[in-house]
Chain A
Amino acid sequence: MTAAVFDTPSIEYRQLLPILIVLGVALAGVLVEAFMGRRYRHETQLVLALGGLVAAFVAVVATAGDYAVVAEGSVAVDGPGLFLQGTILLLAIPGILTTAERSLDTGGPFAPSGSAMPGSQHERLLTATGVTQTEVFPLLMFAVGGMLLFPVSNDLLTMFVALEVLSLPLYLLCGLARRRRLLSQEASLKYFLLGSFSSAFFLYGVALLYGYAGTVRLSGIADAAGSNAGDETLLLTGTALVAVGLLFKVGAAPFHSWTPDVYQGAPTPITGFMAACTKVAAFGALLRVFYVALGGLAWEWQPILWGVAILTMVVGSVVALTQQDVKRMLAYSSIAHAGFVLVGLVATDSATKDGEILGVSSVLFYLLAYGFSTIGAFAVVTLVRDSAGEATHLSQWAGLAKRSPLTAAVFTFFLAAFAGIPLTSGFTAKFAVFRAAWTGGAWELVVIGVVMSAVAAFFYFRVVVLMFFSAPAPDGPTVVVPSPLTTAAIALGAGVTLLLGVWPTQVLDLAGRASQFVR
């Protein structure tokens, strides 16, 4: 009788270091929450989180160029993966900074205790004593950890685990707003129900693809599809179901309906974080699935994604026209932007002479550019307040430029970036995805994208008109001067938006060199 041989799996810790650091910091955050004295908790959590993000970013940079499939084939560390990990970490820094802001609202933007019933005696007591729990930091770090794993998952099960690790903390965070708690909890519940539903779709798709290929490994699916083995119905149905799960996360139509409600109800710093980082991670996973596993099937899925891209751009741009709330408007704007990113993504047939795959590099660049603008824009939204908290109704923004010219100017700059005005990152990014699409032969998508950009410009500039050209309401909101935390986040967002608009060479170059997947 021979004893069963147990092969120890080989774990390449160096390539996994960014993920491990972030998850480790998240665990440490839980311990801090449990054992640290209340007075020092907030500062400790902030330093810990920022330190973890910076360390993880350094680890990502150190790994650059060292591409491999690691962890027994379940994680693929490659150009797009590392670029997106770096992007997520960089975006999480302003995300953490706005989350840690406490000078705008007494006690910060989060509920004193998530478990206290809204309006209960317990909550009033906590508010009166100024006690606020700081579990948002470890929750955010767990989410970031999941996001880091999501775009580098090399098999569908790892991808599903990453999806859940990033989603569950977000569901919780959405429900933690200090003001308008019922709205916040409603957002949380909606996000949770719809999110679980889409996870179920994803998982079912994984099962079908496994049934087709006999493996969940992306390269294995690609090989099986290439050799025409198995039942094609399973393959196509599985592809569709996996796509639904991922398109839900990026907020593409027709799976977008959660976005406005969740964006509106969630605490604004979390909304900004979600709008930026979740989108980056989810598009990363989408890219990997469609380019690595299903690249050979482009003929099958491209028409569908064409339709989704067009629908997403149209729904996002047109419905945004009717919005009366800044956060909802930005939510629809993020839907429209998901459409623009999809325009780049469908251009599979866009390799240049130097081996750069424009479809991938343009999406990478777009996500970075959009992420910084959007996190900055949401940070500005947290500043405009009245006695009831943030004043998000558009009518309350009338004449804001008279009260605070700088705030209005910065917000206008972000809106100009969303609208794709030259000399902002939004323009460079749009140019990149449209160029990729045209090179890939999809000039019709470019034309539709351009027309929808014009529609979108209308609602962005409607806000500009309101802020600059309308008379301020007598009892309108004021612009609260934030602590250096939020100021730094906004400055970072605006700085990157300007830099990528005026001098994008280095980043474009980086995205270009990072556009090839390992299998």
Chain B
Amino acid sequence: MTDFPWLTTLAAVPLLGAVAVAALPQGRDLLAKQVALAVSLVPLAMTIWLALDFDANSKEMFQFTEFHEWIPQFGVSYSLGVDGIALVLIALATVLTPVCILASWHDVEQSAIGESRRSVKGYFALLLLLETFMVGVFAATDVFLFYVLFEAMLVPMYFIIGSYGGAQRSYAAVKFLLYSLVGGLLMLAAVIGLYVSSPGGPKAFLFENLLGTQLGTTTERLLFLGFFVAFAIKAPLWPVHTWLPDAAAEAPPGGAVLLVGVLDKVGTFGMIRFCLPLFPDAAKWATPVILTLAVIGILYGALLAIGQTDMKRLIAYTSISHFGFIVLGIFAMTTQGQSGSTLYMVNHGFSTAALFLIAGFLISRRGSRLIADFGGVQRVAPMLAGTFLVAGLSSLALPGLSSFVSEFLVLVGTFSRYEAAAVIATGGIILASLYILWMYQRTMTGEPNEHTSVFKDLNVREAWVVAPLLAVIIALGFYPKPLLDVINPAVARTMQQVGVTDPQPITPAAGTVSEGAGK
């Protein structure tokens, strides 16, 4: 195994699949879907193999590393590798892609509203192309390569939203692209600045070589801001979040899942991978402001979610609230906080995927995204309603479901250093139960209306979409240890790179308070 380029293969398989799907003759829609699904299962199998082969306690920072020179004049190399954090996020992407492909089986045909038919194979080719970039961006250990993939990722998503989205799709696609490009270009400026300040040489952009670069205080802060703003827009953090509700609501359900579930994680991943270790002092300097923004985001996202009338927008706003938690945990600078945040990235991916996809099933049955158009679904389609409830409960962090573990870790980790922030953020949990349960109540309970009374329950395909997601949500709710075992060493290394240690817990005289890290 040692020299085989696993990560390149992992990224290349979907790319080749995308080309193959796009090259199929027009009209062979079913074949295109089948090929796409089959191709997307290969990276999944490979990821499982990688995860089994991954040594969580390795001394090396990255495993499965690959290195090739790319543009030595710029100090750029093609360099891949994963640590625990990157591995779980790659796994998130490779699990969600086949699920989304299966969930989107009929979406393209159904979404054609009165105008010329849209290309079915194009949609599935774009999903596969997106998977390539998602794997690549988490696996990149060269800052320049990361930037390139970070930007390139926008293109397939832009076309997924713009070509296959709802009525406002072109507005949403442009807004998405512009926000991301502004962030990306600010990051580009910071990337150039980092390069010029670095020792240089043909491997200047390697993450390992950039660690510990001596920067002046002002330079470090400016570069940190360049990176951070890009990631904050991506994540998205209040107040640069406004593109997300539009993009997520207009995107087709499969696209929305990958957008919110995986693409946005690149933002929080970037904070923990690049912002903290590369600019530790600036990160500490900015922490108070970032924590404040995160807490505002938690409450603001939750409050706006409560007020939404559109199901997909509601889910998008819940995500803004949850991203607040993730950022909070990262910048709390404690082991529990950062482990919790990383776990949260995964859990949020799965619970949001379940919510978006089941909402997508509802929307395709009713032909409307408005909550008011639904009602009494649990009478006619109990499976549909039941799975929606479980996904929703996971989103509001019910104990026993996966999000609870991560949310708890984030709050504990934050409390040990920033008590006030943790206390206020806890309010977000209460609001979460309000927006989820109230949405459930309005859509699922009561008497079915004339449209919902004819709803069919989940069919086999839909059940296959939902089942793995719920299985993961429940399994990680009860037993998150395997994931935490992979994440914790990587987080410990990040903490070390930043140069912070956990605050000593202040124990009462009896000394009975126990740490809450994992079960």
Contacts and interface: CB of A to CB of B under 8 A. Distances in A.
Interface in B138-171: 147-149, 151-152, 154-155, 158-159, 162-163, 169-170
Top-9 shortest CB links A-B = A422-B148, A469-B170, A508-B73, A450-B185, A450-B189, A422-B151, A438-B196, A469-B162, A454-B182
Interface in B59-80: 69-74
A258 interface: no
Interface in A462-519: 462, 465, 468-471, 504-505, 508-509, 512
Contacts of A509: 73
Given A402-B116, A423-B148, A465-B174, A454 B196 contact: no
Contact of B163 (A419, A431, A469): A469
Task: Describe A's contact surface by its main secondary structure.
Answer: helix
A454 B230 CA distance: 13
B115 A471 contact: yes
B162 A454 contact: no
Interface stretch (A114-122, A137-145, A389-397, A439-447): A439-447
A453 interface: yes
A428 B74 CA distance: 9
Contacts of A301: none
B186 interface: yes
Contacts of A453: 185
Interface of A: 402, 416, 419-423, 427-428, 430-432, 434-435, 438-439, 443, 446-447, 450-451, 453-454, 457-458, 461-462, 465, 468-471, 504-505, 508-509, 512
A434 B192 contact: yes
Contacts of A450: 185-186, 188-189
Contact of A465 (B162, B186, B196): B162
A357 B331 CA distance: 41
A505 B174 contact: no
Interface of B: 69-74, 115-116, 147-149, 151-152, 154-155, 158-159, 162-163, 169-170, 173-174, 177-178, 181-182, 185-186, 188-189, 192-193, 195-196
Nearest to A504: B71
Contact of B71 (A421, A446, A461, A508): A508
A381 B467 CA distance: 51
A447 B73 CA distance: 22
Contacts of A419: 181
Contacts of B158: 461
25 contacts: A420-B185, A421-B151, A421-B152, A422-B149, A422-B152, A431-B192, A432-B74, A434-B188, A435-B192, A438-B196, A443-B189, A443-B193, A450-B188, A451-B185, A453-B185, A457-B177, A457-B178, A465-B170, A468-B159, A468-B162, A469-B162, A469-B170, A505-B72, A508-B71, A509-B73
A461 B177 contact: yes
A468 B193 CA distance: 36
A505 B71 contact: yes
B151 A438 contact: no
A435 B71 CA distance: 14
A438 B197 CA distance: 10
Contact of A454 (B115, B159, B163, B178): B178
Contact of A446 (B115, B151, B170, B189): B189
Contacts of B69: 505
B148 A434 contact: no
B322 to A, nearest CB: 28
A362 to B, nearest CB: 10
A423 to B, nearest CB: 6
A465 B173 contact: yes
Given A462-B174, A468-B162, 5 more contacts: A430-B188, A434-B192, A451-B185, A458-B178, A465-B170
A416 B155 contact: yes
Nearest to A508: B73
Contacts of B178: 454, 457-458, 461
B193 A438 contact: yes
A462 B162 CA distance: 12
Contacts of A431: 74, 188, 192
A430 B181 CA distance: 15
Contacts of A421: 151-152, 154-155
A511 B115 CA distance: 50
Interface centre among A451, A458, A465 (most CB of B within 10 A): A465
Nearest to A365: B73
A13 B174 CA distance: 56
A303 B321 CA distance: 47
A155 to B, nearest CB: 33
Contacts of B170: 465, 469-470
B130 to A, nearest CB: 15
Contacts of B148: 422-423, 427
A423 B162 contact: no
Given A435-B196, A450-B188, A469 B173 contact: yes
Nearest to A428: B71
Contacts of B116: 402, 471
Nearest to B201: A353
Contacts of B177: 457, 461
A421 B173 CA distance: 16
A297 B178 CA distance: 40
